[in-house]
Amino acid sequence: MSKKWFAAVVLSVSSLLGAFALLQEQLKPGAQAPQFELESLDGKTVILSELKGKPVFLDFWATWCGPCRRALPHTQAFSEKYKDKAHIFAINVREEPEKVQTFMQQNKYTFRVLMDTEGEVARAYGVRGIPHFVVIGAEGKIAFIKVGYGPGVEEELENALKKAIAQAERSRHASQK
């Protein structure tokens, strides 16, 4: 009986340590954003390291995801409202470009979509559920992360984006003096 108890304790401790290690791996605000190079639906290559100077908004999503579909109108609004002050991207995870292109046309969306067909960038960003939103500051560090979509999320996202834009503008003005 004591061997079974000991085995149960060892298994429990191992599980807890594994879960703790997994939590430690997740990105947090202030961490350097993982670099990526993805192709957009229009065939252009987007490289994160080339986007410095403006904040970057990432919306990880898929066409089959109900909460993602409810969030996309806000991504569209952000892309229109902040097009000169931030880079706005929706990163489609693990779908075929043709399917995504059809979805975009049917919904009349014009924001830029990057294709993460293998899910590598999603893994690098610790995406375990979608929608998953990330705001990256102009200096390349994670400023905000939000998983899921529900009441009030669009305000949280917009506030985080506005804050990153304001910080970028302050930094730009300070460097010009």
CATH label of the domain that carries residue 57: 3.40.30.10
pTM of the model: 0.85
Within-domain flag for 10: no
Tens of pLDDT along 78-115? 999 999 999 999 999 999 999 999 999 999 999 999 99
Tell me if 107 is assigned to some domain. yes
With respect to residue 108, please indicate whether it lies within any of the assigned structural domains.
yes
Residue 117 has pLDDT above 80, yes or no: yes
Measure the CA–CA gap between 29 and 135, rounded to whole angstroms.
9
Q: How far apart are CA 120 and CA 38, in angstroms?
A: 10
161 has pLDDT over 70: yes
pLDDT greater than 80 at residue 18: no
Q: Which amino acid is at 102?
A: T
Owning domain of residue 90:
28-176
**If you write DSSP's letter for every residue of the chain in order, what string do you get?**
-HHHHHHHHHHHHHHHHHHHHHHHHS--TTSBPPP-EEEETTS-EEEGGGGTTS-EEEEEE-TT-HHHHHHHHHHHHHHHHTTTTSEEEEEEES--HHHHHHHHHHHT--SEEEEETTSHHHHHTT--SSSEEEEE-TTSBEEEEEES--TTHHHHHHHHHHHHHHHHHHHHHHHH-
> Do the domain assignments include residue 20?
no
CA distance 93 to 3: 45
CB within 8 A of 167, min separation 6: which ones?
Answer: 55, 137, 138, 143
- pLDDT higher at 144 or 175: 144
CA angle 42, 48, 52 (to 5 degrees): 120
pLDDT, one tens digit per residue, over 20-79 is 334 435 799 999 999 999 999 999 999 999 998 999 999 999 999 999 999 999 999 999
In a domain, 21, yes or no: no
For the chain, the domain total comes to: 1
Q: Has residue 45 been placed in a domain?
A: yes
Instruction: Tell me: pLDDT of 7 over 60.
Output: no
Calculate mean pLDDT across residues 151-173. Answer: 96
